[in-house]
């Protein structure tokens, strides 16, 4: 087969993928269990008090945060800490069944003096929503890593809050 025929075939295949990928993606989203009503009870913004301490130990004083869950399994956390110290906290979540969910988030940490990235955290939380869908509580594990992926330690957050409605 000549190179020009191979290139034409590749270009045609690429064009077909670009034309039909949105159709495949929307069909997949429609069948995603995160898009059903029960799973989406977590969707919204939550006004949360978070306390962090050693795993199995006494938690420190609480701080406030906003936890946002979007339809489709993504979200963001906005803590009340200095935004210069940490990047955005981006999240994925899944419905485990009933009123139970699991969320995992990642964010980068920065040296306040130099602005250099010094590491990142991965936090995995188990979350339970009240039967009326207006209260929220859970706990998790926050792991600390250096930028070279070296594990540096962990702490365990506990949190509780209410749905933010304005």
Residue 59 has pLDDT above 80, yes or no: yes
Mean pLDDT on 54-64: 95
Mean pLDDT on 64-77: 96
Q: Which of 28-42, 63-77, 83-97, 102-116 has the lowest mean pLDDT?
A: 28-42
Residue 23 has pLDDT above 70, yes or no: no
pTM over 0.85: no
The answer to whether 151 touches 162, Cβ cutoff 8 Å, is no
Closest CA to 77 of 66, 92, 69: 66
The predicted structure's pLDDT at residue 18: 37
């Amino acid at each position: 087969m000549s190179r020009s025929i191979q290139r034409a075939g590749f270009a045609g295949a690429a064009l077909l993928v670009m034309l039909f990928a949105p159709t495949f993606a929307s069909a997949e989203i429609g069948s995603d269990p995160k898009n059903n009503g029960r799973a989406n009870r977590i969707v919204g913004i939550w006004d949360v008090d978070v306390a962090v301490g050693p795993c199995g130990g006494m938690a420190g004083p609480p701080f406030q945060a906003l936890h946002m869950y979007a339809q489709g399994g993504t979200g963001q956390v906005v803590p009340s800490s200095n935004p210069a110290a940490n990047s955005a906290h981006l999240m994925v979540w899944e419905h485990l069944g009933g009123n139970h969910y699991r969320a995992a988030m990642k964010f980068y940490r920065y040296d306040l003096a130099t602005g250099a990235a010094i590491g990142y955290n991965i936090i995995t939380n188990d979350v339970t929503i009240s039967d009326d869908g207006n209260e929220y509580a859970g706990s998790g594990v926050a792991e600390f890593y250096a930028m070279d992926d070296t594990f540096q330690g962990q702490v365990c957050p506990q949190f509780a809050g209410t749905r933010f409605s304005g």
